[in-house]
Amino acid sequence: MALVASLALALLLGHLLDRALFGDPAHGLIDRVGRALMLGLGTLGLVSMLVDALGLGVTRGSVFGGCGVVLLLCALAAWRQAAGQPAAAASRSGAHEAAPLDARQRAMYVGLLLFALLGTALAVRSGWVRPTFQFDSTTRWMFKTKALHFDRTLLGPISTDPEFGLTHQRYPPLVSHVSNVPLLFEGRFDDRLASSIYVWFGVALVAVVYGALRRRTGRLCAAFGAMWIAQLPLFSYVFAPPPGAGAASAMADVPLALFITGAALAAADGVEGRRPRAHLEAGVLLGFVLLTKNEGMAFLIALCLGVLLAAPRARWRRVFGIGALGLLLFTLAWGWIASGLPVTDEHYPAQLNLAALERGLGRLQIIVPRFLRELTDFSAWNVTWPAVGALLLVAGRRCWRLPVCRLLLVALVVQMVSYLLAYVVTAWSSPAAEVISETSAAGDPVSVLMSVSLGRLFMQVAPLAIVLALCASPVETRPSG
């Protein structure tokens, strides 16, 4: 019940926020639920983080009170909008008339949707049945959730005492705050309950991609995109390696993939002028990206560069608007707190300098082959990466000519280059890596780090790559209902 109540709160919060701030661009139930979950889960975490940053104590009263204020403001704004612009609402709902599918297309559409549902259901069941057990999950995300439950804050010893350095104290903790919400409803700590909310970021991801593609390319392509993501082995059913890549693993990679994809799609809508306030949505979602994982900082650069190269006019103003809003949310909820917290060996921005790059260049002979092996690993990705490459090749110049594709392509490439650079400069080590280094021919801990993390990093951008490939493809380009 606590999980259902948390999801209901997220849906309500997200839907009202969507209507009040972003003009509710969704078409159909799946799109609407996906957007509501994405915005709602992010907002729940943000409210809880702001409550903590203000020193109010993360309790049932403070968090649900904060959510109540947001709900009230959103409801008022949505009501005023509906009262003031009935014609706009009516025209919006009828903006895209249904392009009817023939019998064969309808059968394919239903089949693809059912296959997508199967993959998603598998992940949801695993998320409910499996307790948190992955090393990184228990020692970082769930550890912080547990501390939030018992201490009512993340500003205490868990974040400041070097003894708790194992939790990676500077890591942005949005997902830990979200997984604390079911515990606020339940009133007692239950790690299975707390971790079971993670998989719903994955559900939202599948639905958001479906919705965005449906509005851009049509129903059939949307169902195909949803199926592609929901049936990614690492997303829905492959257990390991690498540990923790799946939607059910209580790790922050799938939540990050959701916010990255959502932010990029919103920015693309804004660049193309498809709907008003898309840039505002991109900025808010970029804030969620920054609050979810350290990799979000690289995506800030990736997205801004994408917008800069794709926007037809007012480029710098758009970039500044999206970037500044994202950074503002990050700074208010976490950035100013994190600047005073201990640094770990995985604080990559501090390690990225010319000397470190020069030192680590030799590692490319380990890193590049490993990247290529991951891209062609059928057991983890099926044929995803070769298929994305093939679709981009077939699309040819469309990849660069269409603003949406240019934006997504630049964001994807910059993000993946940032992963490569992180491996080049990393100072990561662990007892396991030291043992390996003694015996391994490569003799470099980075090979150990890549074996446990590369699949997770690729999971963060796989949906973006799939959306890019489908947007560039010469398939249906007519919006359909």
Partner 1 sequence: MDRLTLTQFVALAVVLAALVRWLPGDDPSKDPLGRGAPWLAIELDSYLEGLRATEPDAPQAYLRGLRRLDTDAFFRYWSRTLRDVRKIQAEAGPETFVQFKGMSRNEQWQLRYDLYPIPTTGAFYEDGGSEDDPTLPGATVMVSRLIASQDMDPEDRKKVMQASLERGNRK
| CB nearer partner 1, residue 79 or residue 239 | 239
Interacting residues of 459 by C-beta distance below 8 A, sequence separation 6+: 232, 234, 235, 245, 253, 254, 257
Query: Any idea what the Cα angle at residue 432 is, between residues 428 and 438, rounded to 5°?
Result: 95
How many CB atoms within 10 Å of residue 122?
18
Complete DSSP assignment for 159-174: HH-GGGGGG-TTS--H
| CB nearer partner 1, residue 36 or residue 122 | 122
Residue 164: CB minimum distance to partner 1, A: 8
Residue 45: CB minimum distance to partner 1, A: 20
**Tokens 């976490």 appear where?**
334
What's the CA gap between 119 and 84, in Å, rounded? 42
| CB nearer partner 1, residue 228 or residue 423 | 228
How far from 20 is each of 15, 17, 261, CA to CA, in Å?
Answer: 9, 5, 22
| CB nearer partner 1, residue 57 or residue 321 | 57
Tokens of 204: 């939202």
240, with CB counted inside 10 A (0-12, 13-18, 19+), is: middle
| CB nearer partner 1, residue 316 or residue 378 | 378
| CB nearer partner 1, residue 224 or residue 330 | 224
Which amino acid, residue 480? Answer: S
What's the CA gap between 334 and 328, in Å, rounded? 10
Angle subtended by helix axes 253-272 and 403-425, to nearest 10: 140
| CB nearer partner 1, residue 93 or residue 376 | 376
Tokens of 329: 């949310």
Which amino acid, residue 259? Answer: F
Residue 333: CB minimum distance to partner 1, A: 24
Residue 406: CB minimum distance to partner 1, A: 19
Residue 170: CB minimum distance to partner 1, A: 17
82 alpha carbon, distance to own chain's centre:
30
| CB nearer partner 1, residue 242 or residue 360 | 242
| CB nearer partner 1, residue 339 or residue 438 | 438
Residue 233: CB minimum distance to partner 1, A: 6
Complete DSSP assignment for 170-197: TS--HHHHHHHHHHHHHSS--HHHHHTT
Residue 197: CB minimum distance to partner 1, A: 18
| CB nearer partner 1, residue 116 or residue 322 | 116
Which amino acid, residue 336? Answer: W
Report the number of secondary-structure helices (H) and strands (E) in the chain.
27, 0
| Binding stretches for partner 1 (CB under 8 A) | 112, 115, 122, 125-126, 129-131, 133, 135, 138-139, 142-143, 146-147, 150-151, 166, 224, 227-228, 231, 233, 236-243, 373, 377-380, 382-384, 387, 390-391, 394-396, 430-432, 435-436, 438-440, 447-448, 451-452, 473-475
Residue 143 dihedral angles phi and psi, to the nearest 5°: -60, -45
Residue 153: CB minimum distance to partner 1, A: 13
Residue 172: CB minimum distance to partner 1, A: 19
Residue 131: CB minimum distance to partner 1, A: 5
